[in-house]
Copies of this chain bind each other. A is one copy, B any other.
């Protein structure tokens, strides 16, 4: 029944157009030296037959595979996914990447790799051998994993490091974490807040430090102290609960918290609710990431929007444009923006006065 339709190959096109395989190949790849007349004829044959080159054959013969491989942290991704929290990094990478890849005739694949596994090399190595991608995009925390970057450098595969500005092989891209944190803090200060705490991410992530830096800088610039206003979490919900509790226990005069992830900030929101603190009336909250889950919370969270998709898109372009290795020095920075929703407002009226004139009175 089901007639097996033979695949259209370059040979079919060559015959149809009455030229050699090589000429068709040149036309397909935009080769430089083909007479316009012949080019058009070949193009017509290609269209008529619906010829599309086989990715596998292209890879076999030429040097390119037309595949960009995106690497994500398996542990975090699967945890978020199983908990039905969404896997925003994967979303953003995949979709940001797919669109840019397809513009250049490339394809994107996603690979999940364990950070803590001793098999990183084997696991990633297998993917590289099987796929032989033309470029690899690393996300935190892999971006700064020596084993991984070395492996890629050794195999001479161009790669991008997102969320890393360290020198070394690979194209470094960052998302303006320092200035984003500074922006968020400055905005709160502008609203009148003086006691602004931060729940930071784990120190293995460079961006955790950058965000702390930005927050401190804004506080310093405004002449505000930040001692004791820092708690560290692991980006997850539970750690956010712990951190928010510790912060609110310690500082009754706190009027704002910046959380270094949506989950942690959402946890802070719940802690506030439990303690009868209205957000944003009594406590302002700013989150990092701006994943889907902060849009429908009550109130919706003001958040720093991580331009992951755009960053990945830039990474793809760099990987495709640069050959085996270009000048790997300049850090590419894509700016993050602040999306204001309803979790931020001026602090309660007595609060600023308190901080200046009186002793704190709230228990």
Contact = CB atoms under 8 A, between A and B. Distances in A.
Interface of A: 2-5, 7-8, 50-57, 59-60, 65, 77-78, 81, 84-88, 90-91, 94-95, 98, 107, 109-110, 112, 122, 125-126, 129-132, 153-156, 169, 266, 290-298, 324-325
A274 to B, nearest CB: 13
16 contacts: A2-B325, A7-B129, A7-B132, A52-B130, A56-B59, A56-B60, A56-B65, A84-B295, A86-B86, A86-B292, A98-B112, A107-B109, A107-B131, A292-B292, A296-B297, A298-B298
A266 B98 contact: no
A87 B98 CA distance: 14
Contacts of A86: 86, 88, 91, 291-293
Given A91-B91, A266-B296, A130 B50 contact: no
* Central interface residue in A122, A290, A298, by most chain B CB within 10 Å: A298
Contact of A60 (B57, B129, B291, B325): B57
Q: Closest 9 CB pairs between A and B?
A: A298-B298, A86-B292, A52-B129, A56-B59, A56-B56, A296-B297, A52-B126, A55-B130, A4-B156
A349 B155 CA distance: 71
B94 A132 contact: no
Contact of A90 (B60, B95, B169): B95
A132 B297 contact: no
Contacts of A53: 129-130
A194 to B, nearest CB: 29
Nearest to A8: B129
A94 B153 CA distance: 28
Contacts of A297: 296-298
A77 B112 CA distance: 22
A54 B53 CA distance: 18
A153 B1 CA distance: 10
Contact of A110 (B2, B98, B112, B130): B98
Contact of A156 (B5, B87, B91, B156): B5
Given A55-B56, A295-B293, A94 B94 contact: yes
Contacts of A90: 91, 94-95
B3 A154 contact: yes
A77 to B, nearest CB: 7
A201 to B, nearest CB: 19
A52 B125 contact: yes
A173 to B, nearest CB: 20
Contacts of A50: 122, 125, 129
Nearest to A2: B156
Contact of A154 (B5, B110, B131, B266): B5
Given A50-B122, A94-B94, 14 more contacts: A2-B156, A5-B155, A7-B129, A52-B125, A54-B130, A55-B131, A77-B95, A81-B91, A86-B291, A90-B95, A94-B110, A107-B130, A291-B292, A294-B296
A1 B55 CA distance: 30
A129 B88 CA distance: 30
* Central interface residue in A78, A84, A132, A153, by most chain B CB within 10 Å: A84
Contacts of A59: 54, 56
